[in-house]
Structure formats: C-alpha cells, structure tokens
Amino acid sequence: MIIKALKNNKYSLISLASVVVFLAVWELVSFLIGKPYLLPRFTEVMSEFFVLLGKKDFYIVTLSTLGRVLLGFVISLVLGVGLGILGGISKTVRAILAPFISFLRTTPTMALTLVIMVWLRNKYTPILIGLIMVFPIIYRTISDSIINVDGKLKEMTKLYGISNKNAVKFMYIPEVVPVLFGSLVTAFGMNIKAVVSAEILAYTADSIGLRMFIAKQDFFGGTATLFAWVLTAIIISVVFELLLGLIQKRISKKWN
Amino acid sequence: MELRGLTKKFGDNVIFDNCDLVFEENKITAVMGRSGRGKTTLLNIIAGLDTDYSGEIIGSSPCAYIFQEPRLLKGATVLENTLIGSGFKNREKAIKLLEEMELSDYINEYPKALSGGMAMRVSMARAFVSGRSVILMDEAFKSLDKDLKYRLYDMFLRLWNSSGKPTTIIVTHDKEEAEYLGDTIIEL
C-alpha cells in the first residue's frame, strides 16, 4: 500500500529522498566528527533501537507514554469539540473562554509543567500538559469552522425551516469534520512533544521522557540510546499523523 | 400579493421609497432593473430574510426561493438536498421531480458530482417539492450558457405548470429571460 501511495505521489518520493539525503549527511558528519557521544552514527542509533525493541521494558515504557498521549488527546478532543460547539454557537461562551484560550496558547509549556507539578503527581502532569497543548487547537478549529459556515447556506436552511438535527448532519458536520481532522494531524505532533517534555521535567516513571533523561546522564555511552528513544517518539508521532491524515482524506473525499 | 408603502434604506442610500407593488396570483412576474436597484433586496424582503424595512406585505405566505447560487448542502445527497424543500416529506414527489429534471442517475450523489446546471436543477426541484404557493427566483440562470438556459427555462415552465402555477417572482437582468418566462414585467 505504501509503495503504491509513493508511486502515485511524486512529492512523497521527494520527501523520502530528502530523508535519505539527511541520513546520509548525518552518517557522513558523524563519521567525520568521530565522537559518538556527540553525534552517534545513524546505523549505531538504529542498532540501539533494535536492541531496545528486544527488551520488554521498551514496550512498557512506550505504551505508557502512548497511553498518556492518547488519554490527554481524547480528553482534549471531547472538551475541545464540546466547548468549541458552544463557542461556535454563542458569542457569550466565546467571550468567557477567550482569555483562558489565549493564556493556554501563549504561556510557555515548561512554565505550565512546573506549575502543574506542584499540584499533580508526576504521572499525571504529562497528561494535563498534552491536554493543555491540544485543547485550544481543537476548540478554535471547531468554533471557527462553525462560525465560518457559509451565511448563504444558513439563510437557505432558515428559509426552508430545516431542523437543527438536519442542519448539523448535512451542513455543520461536513464543514467542520474535515477541518477538525486537518488540525488533529498537527495537534497530535504537538501533543507528543509536550507529553515527552513534561515526562522529562516531571521524572515520570515508565516514560519515554525519563528514559531519554537517563540516557542523557550517561554522557559517553548513552547518546545513541537517547537518539533511539527520540526515534521511538518520532515513529509514534508519524504513525498517528499518517492515520489521522488518511481519515481526513477519506472524509474530505466524500464531500469535497 | 401586494407590497404597500415599502421603504428600504442601506444607510443613506434609499432603495425603495414608499413603493407600492402588486404581483398577480398564479402568474410569473419578472422584475428587471440595473444592478443596485434592489431586485435581490425585494425578494429577500418578500422571503422574510430581510426584515429591516418599513411597509406592509399583503397576502404573503411562506416562499420557496431559487437563489443565484444553488446553495446545496455538500453533506446531503441530491435527493436529500431536494427533500430539504419539503421538510423531508413527499419523497416520491421529489424523486419524480428529479426524474423530470433528468437527474435520476444522480439521486444518491453528493453535490460535488454535479455540474453548475445540474446543481441549479436540484435547487429548482427543492423549490417545487416544497409545495409553497410563492416561488422567488433570483437570476438563477445568470452564469449558464444560452442553450442550457433555454433548456432550464422550459423545465422551469413545465414544472411550474404541473405544480399548480404558484405565484412566482423572478429577478433578472436578461430581457429575453424576462419575456420568455414572465407573464408580466416590472421595471425597477
């Protein structure tokens, strides 16, 4: 399927080629520097990654982080969609939420993590940080796309007295859902970055973040391990972004 | 249907100043006039979409409206878009109308599969399936080529006759269209 998709999309091939060139440059620079604790070779990172894959601990850690990522993501999806609908319908709700959304969007993640660590146990901090990163994106996407539904269509539905249920089904969902999935693709990447960063700061047990931190402490031997954990986080992010992207394409194809 | 003492302003710009208009029942009235003379505004007032005016509408009833653009909902199929006109009742009538409009192959398609002319036919079917006694039409054929326009004029007249000749007001720039469709022509 992937090969077929690549054949059909020359830009995917270009992206793949750019990754290959990047890895070749990485390999070359690493070889020239000759100090694996500063920049391990890509092949070394991959071999470390495969060593990790053979350990039970890898799956516990990865699934724990993934669980936090998904939990925060689902909660922010539910909250973002719910409040986004209210914000899209009511100017008052929008005005009430505006300062909080602004606060969440502009406050540095690290600062929020430190504050939340004061209140919450370490294993919950990353979940809340992920939620805080994703929620404003979903809220804004939903409320903006409801507001931006074509006024002429609303006029038509008003004239013919279409019920709220049918307006949601035939007008709002087809306008909002494809845009929502587009923003989820971006939000998921931001979510995983925020969760892993919070795990590092909060020393969360059984987490990719903590494993990265531990690997970093081993200055001369841990850099390849650190990179292997980074690679793990990237793989999770890419897999979910591809999945969400595929869903978005399917949905958009139906109506657009 | 009658409009008495209609006054409508956009800021300092007076569109209608104490204007009286009469539209004959069960006839097609074509309203002509240059851009900015308030043709669309007139239809919006009659349809109840614009309530910021003074004056009186006598004998008004809920209207069906064929807008300049088809205004189809992209999440609804052709049949569902048509049924919007009748509050999702009269399914058989909607299917029959779509057949008459040569759209039977597209009943379960979404609007993205339709050409401009097809989408306009769905908009017309939506208006006729509503069974409303007043139909408003705002330059619906403006962007279509001449051959297609005349095909749609004929379809419109056929449906209009078979739907009990609802009181119809059409707005147009096109004198040929006004003469072809209209029983009466009003110049604004």
Distance CA A83, CA A104 (A): 15
Give me the pLDDT at residue A221, please.
75
- Residues B183/B27, Cβ–Cβ less than 8 Å: yes
Which CATH fold would you assign to the domain A54-255? MetI-like fold (1.10.3720)
Q: B130 to chain A: which residues are within 8 Å by CB? A: 160
Residue A49, φ and ψ in degrees, nearest 5: -60, -40
Give me the pLDDT at residue A252, please.
84
How close, in Å, is residue A170 to chain B by CA atoms?
4
Give me the pLDDT at residue A48, please.
93
| Best residue of B71, B112, B138 to probe chain A, by most A CBs closer than 10 Å | B71
The kind and range of the H/E element at B16 are: strand B13-22
- Alpha carbon dihedral A82, A86, A87, A91, in 10-degree steps, equals -170
Cβ of B53 under 8 Å from any chain A Cβ? Answer: no
Best CATH choice for the domain B2-187 from the list 3.40.50.620, 3.40.50.970, 3.40.605.10, 3.40.50.300: 3.40.50.300
Distance CA A138, CA B15 (A): 44
A13-50 tens-digit pLDDT: 898 899 999 999 999 999 999 888 889 999 999 999 99
* Entry pTM: 0.82
Q: A175 to chain B: which residues are within 8 Å by CB? A: 74-75
Which residues of chain B are modeled with pLDDT < 50?
none
Q: How many beta-carbon pairs under 8 angstroms link A with B?
A: 52
How close, in Å, is residue A164 to chain B by CA atoms?
12
B44-65 tens-digit pLDDT: 999 999 999 999 998 878 899 9
Domain range list for chain A? 54-255
Interface of B with A in 72-111 (CB under 8 A): 73-76, 80, 84-85, 87-88, 110
Which residues of chain A are modeled with pLDDT < 70?
1-8
Distance CA B88, CA A163 (A): 10
With an 8 Å Cβ cutoff, are B112 and A256 in contact? yes
ipTM value of the model?
A: 0.90
Give me the pLDDT at residue B143, please.
79
- Residues B63/A155, Cβ–Cβ less than 8 Å: no
- Tokens representing residue A110 in the block: 């690290």
What lies within 8 Å, CB to CB, of A63 at 6+ separation is none
Q: Select the residue of A152, A160, A255 nearest B112 (Cβ to Cβ).
A: A255
With an 8 Å Cβ cutoff, are B67 and A152 in contact? yes
Give me the pLDDT at residue B120, please.
93
Give me the pLDDT at residue A13, please.
86
